[in-house]
């Protein structure tokens, strides 16, 4: 199976990394870091960017800058990577796990409304796989109930809701540049915001409590060092240049795969709302209805893997199903959809969607024949 490897670099990454190596600043204060923060923020329709060593730290930075702490709650979807919840817990607050919608795989706005308590401070939508959560309903809800929105946009580089990019809706957002993401430096993350004061607090938190324009050895708040290196920024600048054409390639291939499989009983791909006019195509998600498809999700996963098609049988448990949350430290709302997805959902990684057209048709034929 001719599936391209991921990640990959070109001469462009090599040239920019060499430029850093030939300078006397390899750390977070090379001009590439500033250039990357500004370029990526602008790309996502935001005014300010504060980079971090990874997306998990960017989420922790968002909690600190938002002043979220003990006795407070943040609503998190029951299906996400663990960092969405641990960032809340590490801030001393309580994650409240709320169900996702059956086919968008994103936070259910009605169930979110029902989960709000007097302690709730924020909602954290996760744009799962790339297509965005229902930002019309979630933003209206947050406004009506006086809550902050922190977007976990770790999967949503370049994604749009009615022409407005992921990460620009809430008070703040975060992105990940970890190895599997559609833009990567192996590790990396960024916090974006349109609020200048929030950006300044986040930067102070990531930069040992320093303040912009004040001295190197002057520390104003209790903070840490979350900075990215210039080597990461060099790679990310090159990756950002290539992102729009890669999104377009994945969009074409996903359209083709979906249309080739349109009549396959019992297979439902992620529903992309019409408001999502463009997205990252980070994961191609789907669900298998065993009775109608003929075989189980696990058998589907095994068959694809045996034929050389990379496939992941979803998460092994909901976020609250992790041993970490088995003894409390969270509030759990009813999550029947999330629990069903654990049994019947799967995803194909984005590199599958970067194959040539013939390979995409071959994958469709394999799935049709299962
Ligand atoms: C939804 C989500 N949020 C946060 C993260 C954390 O990002 P990182 O791995 O860069 O720490 C990930 C990571 O992989 C993720 O999928």
- Encode pLDDT of 113-128 as tens digits: 999 999 999 999 999 9
- Our mutation pick for probing the ligand 1 site, out of 51, 55, 152, counting the most ligand atoms within 8 A of Cβ, is 55
Condensed to tens digits (0 to 9), the pLDDT of residues 311-366 reads 999 999 999 999 999 999 999 999 999 999 999 999 999 999 999 999 999 999 99
Distance between Cα 81 and ligand 1 center (Å)? 6
120 phi/psi in degrees, rounded to 5: -65, 130
Atom of ligand 1 nearest to the CA of 59: 4
Residue found under tokens 């969607």: 353
Distance between Cα 124 and ligand 1 center (Å)? 13
Q: Is the pTM of the predicted complex or chain greater than 0.95? A: yes
Distance between Cα 157 and ligand 1 center (Å)? 13
What would the DSSP string read from start to end of 183-239? S-SSS-EEEEES-HHHHHHHHHHHBTT--TTS-TT---SS--B-PPPHHHHHHHHHH
Q: How far apart are CA 151 and CA 145, in angstroms?
A: 17
For residues 57-68, give the mean pLDDT. Answer: 98
Average pLDDT, the chain: 98
Task: Say whether pLDDT at 163 is over 90.
Answer: yes
Distance between Cα 175 and ligand 1 center (Å)? 8
Pocket residues: Cβ below 6 A from ligand 1? 54-56, 80-81, 83-84, 126, 152, 154-155, 176, 178, 189
Task: Please state, as a whole number, how many other Cβ atoms lie within 10 Å of the Cβ of residue 84.
Answer: 25
Predicted pLDDT at 211: 93
What would the DSSP string read from start to end of 228-288? PPHHHHHHHHHHHHHHHHHHHHHHHHHHHHHHHTTT-TTEEEPP--TT--B----EEEEEE
Predicted pLDDT at 1: 86
For residues 185-207, give the mean pLDDT. Answer: 98
Which tokens belong to 27?
């750390």
- The protein residue with its alpha carbon nearest to ligand 1, atom 10, reads 55
């Amino acid at each position: 199976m001719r599936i391209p490897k991921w990640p990959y670099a070109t001469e462009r990454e090599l040239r920019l990394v060499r430029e850093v190596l030939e300078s006397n600043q390899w750390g977070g204060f090379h001009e590439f870091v500033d250039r990357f923060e500004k370029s990526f923020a602008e790309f996502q329709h935001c005014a300010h960017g504060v980079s971090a060593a990874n997306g998990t730290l960017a989420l922790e930075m968002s909690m600190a800058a938002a002043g979220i702490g003990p006795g407070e709650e943040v609503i998190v979807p029951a299906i996400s990577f663990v960092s969405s919840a641990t960032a809340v817990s590490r801030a001393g607050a309580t994650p409240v796990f709320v169900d996702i919608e059956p086919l968008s795989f994103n936070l259910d706005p009605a169930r979110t409304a029902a989960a709000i308590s007097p302690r709730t401070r924020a909602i954290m939508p996760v744009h799962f796989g790339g297509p965005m959560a229902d930002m019309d309903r979630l933003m209206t809800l947050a406004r009506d109930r006086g809550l902050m929105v922190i977007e976990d946009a770790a999967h949503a580089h370049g994604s749009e809701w009615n022409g407005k990019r992921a990460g620009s809706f809430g008070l703040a957002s975060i992105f990940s540049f970890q190895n599997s993401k559609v833009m990567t430096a192996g590790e990396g993350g960024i916090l974006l915001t349109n609020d200048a004061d929030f950006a300044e607090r986040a930067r102070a938190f990531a930069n040992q409590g320093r303040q912009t324009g004040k001295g190197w050895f002057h520390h104003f708040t209790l903070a840490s060092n979350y900075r990215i290196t210039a080597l990461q920024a060099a790679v990310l600048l090159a990756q950002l240049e290539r992102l729009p054409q890669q999104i377009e390639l994945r969009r074409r291939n996903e359209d083709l795969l979906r249309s080739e499989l349109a009549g396959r009983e019992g297979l439902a791909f992620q529903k992309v709302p019409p408001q999502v006019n463009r997205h990252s195509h980070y994961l191609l998600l789907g669900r298998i209805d065993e009775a109608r498809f003929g075989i189980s999700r696990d058998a589907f996963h095994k068959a694809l893997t045996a034929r050389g098609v990379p496939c992941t049988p979803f998460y092994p448990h909901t976020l609250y199903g992790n041993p970490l949350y088995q003894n409390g430290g969270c509030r759990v709302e009813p999550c029947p959809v999330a629990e069903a997805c654990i049994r019947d959902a799967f995803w194909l990684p984005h590199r599958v969607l970067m194959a040539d057209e013939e390979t995409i048709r071959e994958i469709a034929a394999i799935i049709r024949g299962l």
